[in-house]
Amino acid sequence: MKPPEMKGDMNIFLIEDNDLDVEILKRGLKRLGKSNSLIRARDGLEALQFLTNDGHRANLKHPFVILLDINMPRMNGHEFLLALRQSERLKAARVFVFTTSDSKKDVGFAYQNNASGYIVKPNSSSELNDILQSLQKFWEICEDPVDDLKMGVTDRKKGAPFRSATYE
């Protein structure tokens, strides 16, 4: 088995209304020596508008991961996740819910709508460091589905239609 290809620092689209939480996350990334690309939307509505506007979306480095808060004005995280998963263009996006809520109902809703993970915001900088390191490791070892979606889901080597039962 070949070692995973290094993809560099993860590109983050942060959907968060709390300025203090944004600063804490930025400081955590800086402490770890990460030069991550981070773009922020203040709520789900602003995030959807950004992701569906090609001019704005061009500023977001691909591939990217979404860190999504739940409790936000105008369009909360649950509403955003539902809208995202209904969009043919955006439904494959990797989303980690990153929130203060530890409600089983919120956790269940996130996973029912294909969240990649559910993370309760930590209470200390060392816990945040652990979370960010884990997310970075996930970023490095996972394959990105975006290229396949842009290609219309074809075999990268042959250009043939993808068949899930065919392995090389």
The predicted structure's pLDDT at residue 57: 67
Rounded distance, CA 167 to CA 93, Å?
Answer: 24
The predicted structure's pLDDT at residue 145: 62
Structural domain 11-150, CATH architecture: 3-Layer(aba) Sandwich (3.40)
Domain boundary assignment for the chain:
11-150
- Mean pLDDT split into 10-residue runs, the chain, 168 residues: 54 94 90 81 94 74 87 94 92 92 96 95 92 88 59 38 37
Q: Check: CB of residue 109 under 8 Å from CB of residue 117.
A: no
The predicted structure's pLDDT at residue 78: 96
Which residues contact residue 165 at a Cβ distance below 8 angstroms, ignoring those fewer than 6 apart? none
The predicted structure's pLDDT at residue 53: 83
> Other C-beta atoms within 10 Å of 69: how many?
24
**For residue 8, which of 28, 34, 27 has the smallest C-alpha distance?**
34
Which residues contact residue 24 at a Cβ distance below 8 angstroms, ignoring those fewer than 6 apart? 128
Helix runs in 36-103, H state only: 44-52, 54-57, 77-86
The predicted structure's pLDDT at residue 162: 37
Cα of first residue to Cα of last residue in the chain, in angstroms, is: 13
